[in-house]
Amino acid sequence: METKEKHGRAQTFAIWFGLAALMFGTQMGGSMAAGTYAVGYFAPYGGGWLLVFIAIYFCFRSAFAIHALEFTRLFKTDNYSAYYLELYGLNSDTANPMLKKLVMWMFDIYTTVGGIIVVAATINLFGSLTESIGINAYMGRLIAVVMFAFLSIYGAAFLRKFNTAMTVSLVVSMLVILAAVLSVRGNVFFERMGNFSIGADWTGKPVSSQIMLLISFGFASLTIGSTLCNFSEKIRSTRDSVGSGLLIGLLSISAFFLTSCIVMPFLPEMINNTPILSICQTYLPSVITMLYWIIVVFSVVSTGPTYSYTTANRFAKIWKTQKISRQMKLFIISLIFLIGCYIISGVGLLVIVKKGFSALGSIASVIIGIPMLISLPRMAKKKREEMKQA
C-alpha cells in the first residue's frame, strides 16, 4: 500500500512538474537569455527590491495559472477557442454566433500583436548578436527577416522538435555564466543581494513606478490559460490545479531570478538592450562568450519562425483563393508579418520588452482579467455540483 501511495505521489508530481517545465520553456527564450527582462523589470533597483519584485511576479503567475487550470478542469475546455468562449460564457450551441466570432477575432488580434512583440524583440536581438561579430545591426535584422520567412515554411516544424534541447542548453549556459560572474564579482553580488540601500537610485525613478510597470507585466500572464487548456485532461482535482500552478510560478521566477543574479553585480552600467552579452564580452573568458553566443543564436532562430508560422497558418485559413498554393500563402503572410516586426524592432530591445509586454498586460487585465473575475461565481457553483456528485 505504501509503495502504491509513493508511486501515486510520484506520478502526480510528474504531471505538475511537466506542466511547469512546459511553461518554463515558453519563457526561456532569447530575450530572457539576453538579460533584458532582468534589467527591465527585476534588477534595476538592486538586490533588495529584486526579491520583492520576484515575489510579486510569483503571486501573479501562480494565481493566474491556478485559475486557468481549475477553470479548464471544471468546464472541460481543451483548446484555445473553447477556453476563451467559455470565459465569456459563449461556449454553447445557443450562444449568439456573432458574439462568438467577435470574441475569437479579438483574441486572434491580441495573440497576433503579442507575436509581433515577441518576434520584433527576437529580430532586434539577432541584430545585436550580428553586430557583436562586425555585421551591421540593420543588416543583421534584415538577415533575420529573410531567414525567419524561409524557415517558417520549410523548417518551423523541424525547429519545434528542438525547443526542449534549446531550453536545457540555455539554462546550462546561464548557470555557467552565473558561476563565472560569481568568480569575478562574487563580493559585489553578496553585498547587494537583499540590500535595499544599494540600487534604489540607479534609474532616477521612484520604486512605485517600477512596481506599477511590474504589475502590468504580471497581467500578461493572464494569457497562460490559452496554453494550459490543451492539457486539461491531466488535471484531475483542485489539488492538481493548485500544485501545478504553484510549480509554474516557481519555475517561472527561477528564470527571471537566474538572469537577474547575473546582471545585478554589473548594474547600473550594464542597463542596456543585451546586458548578459555585454558582460560576457567585457568581463568573462572568450570561450564562455562564444558558447553563449552560439546557444542564443540557435534560440533566436528557433523562436522567430515558430511564431511567424503560427501567425501565417492562422490567417492562411481565411485567404480563400485557390490561385496561390498554401505554401506560398504562408510565405507571403509570414513575410508581411516579419516586415512589421522588423519596423518595430528598430525601437530597441529594452523598449520592446518593457513597453510592449506591459502594454499587453494592461490589455489582458481588461479582456481576460474582468471575465476571469466574473467567472468565479460560476466556478464556485460548478465546484459545488462536483462535490454533490462525488
Residue 9 lies in a domain: no
Residue 361 lies in a domain: yes
SS3 229: helix
Residue 8 lies in a domain: no
Domain of residue 367, residue span:
16-389
Residue 1 lies in a domain: no
Please report the pLDDT score of residue 211 as a whole number: 96
* pLDDT string in tens for the chain (390-residue length): 455 555 467 888 888 888 888 888 777 777 888 899 999 999 999 999 999 999 999 999 999 999 999 999 999 888 888 899 999 999 888 889 999 999 999 998 999 999 899 999 999 999 999 998 899 999 999 999 988 888 877 655 555 566 667 778 888 888 999 999 999 999 999 999 999 999 989 998 999 999 999 999 999 999 998 888 888 788 888 899 999 999 999 999 998 999 999 999 999 999 999 999 999 999 999 999 998 888 888 778 777 887 888 888 778 777 777 778 877 888 888 889 999 999 999 999 999 999 999 999 999 999 999 999 999 999 999 888 888 876
Residue 4 lies in a domain: no
Spell 215-240 as b/e; 16+ CB within 10 A means b. bbbbbbbbbbbbbbbebbebbeeeeb
Residue 11 lies in a domain: no
Q: What is the pTM of this model?
A: 0.89
Please report the pLDDT score of residue 295 as a whole number: 82
The tally of domains found in the chain comes to: 1
Please report the pLDDT score of residue 22 as a whole number: 80
In this structure, what C-alpha cell is assigned to residue 264? 545585478
Residue 87 lies in a domain: yes
Residue 96 lies in a domain: yes
Q: Any idea what the CATH number is for the domain that residue 290 is in?
A: 1.10.4160.10
